[in-house]
Amino acid sequence: MTDTINKLKDRAVFRLKAFGQVPNRLYDELDYINDYGGADALLLLSDLIRYLKSEDIHVGPGYGYPTCSLLCYGLGITDIEPVSWGLPFSRFTSSFKQDREFRIETSAGGFDKAVEFLNNRCEYPISLNPEKESVIDIVLPDDQQFFNLHLSITHNINLDIIKALSVERTIKPSKIELDKKTLDIFRDGDTDDIYGFIGAEKSRLLKEFKPECFSDICLVESLYRPETLDMLQEIKRRKLENDIPATGIPEVDSILKESYGMLVYQEQIFKIMRVLKSVDNAELVAAVKRKIDVPIATLSQKGNAISRTMMSVELAYYKARIPDRYREILRNVKIGFIRDAQIKTAINQK
């Protein structure tokens, strides 16, 4: 392995050991990066996120295909451990390529701090993308070739809210969890000020759906849009009536269990196709393939759904404990956001 690969391994192993174990999958992912490139890009991203956090910038749990990489988790690029969440590495390998965007969400100031870091500490040429305001283009050497990294740093105001909440002295959780108090916020539909669940219709649906776990909340967050609302209603029916049809292949049924037998996430297709390769029943395989024969772009990205829901759960965790202070912080952060936007608009018009 190259020096860069060894640096990635040491950093990832250190973090994973701190959380209990180092799955063998990490070494498979390192072998892939060693064979196909991108090691310098991942090391740079890890350094960048470390820097942002040291500068009091909150970084989101992850976005898109990086959430499917245990290496990205070990490097601190994401906070979503893909093994326990059932996110296949093949979802990462299909997207971590030349000229594909790598998106990071941050609290206010993240983009400027990223440019500052890259200008001062990055030895590779960088430039601001002329077509996309929030994208930084970086050209990295990779085994005598080049890896073009398009780094998107986007501001998510909910990370500003979480940042403000996290310094509350009245509550010091060691870990944000979906405990009963937090779950009741969703089961009661008390989400008029919770990211991803704002609106009377979502509130009503949550009360009807009665989510029992994190994955239930993920489903509502992922599917509450016009083109998939019928699917969500069918999932609600299956859940309430305990009516989940089987495919005839237990491994496939296990993959679809979290979504009550329906195909919801892109990552489910990757896992199902892998299972079908080992099934010695052509007729049954063909039947399952017909069921999953849908354009992958029409399905939700599970990693994104987990990331958004993690932020929603964190907000609900605080709301359940300090409701008055929670509403005050929301109001102050949003007023500040509007004021800053007005100032920026006034400057640009001069």
Reported as a single tens digit per residue, the pLDDT across 188-246 is 999 999 999 999 999 999 999 999 999 999 999 999 999 899 999 999 999 999 999 99
Report whether pLDDT(350) > 80.
no
Report whether pLDDT(344) > 70.
no
Cα distance between residue 126 and residue 132, in whole Å: 14
Residue 85: its pLDDT value, please?
92
DSSP result, 146-195? EEEEEEEEEE-HHHHHHHHHHT-TT---SS----HHHHHHHHTT--TTST
Confirm if 196 and 309 have CB atoms less than 8 A apart: yes
CA distances in angstroms from 237 to 183, 240, 291, listed in the order given: 20, 5, 19
Confirm if 39 and 8 have CB atoms less than 8 A apart: yes
**What pLDDT digit, counting tens, does each position of 5-24 carry?**
999 999 999 999 988 889 99
**What pLDDT digit, counting tens, does each position of 61-93 carry?**
999 999 999 999 999 999 999 999 999 999 999
> What is this structure's pTM?
0.90
- Residue 29 in tokens: 């992912």
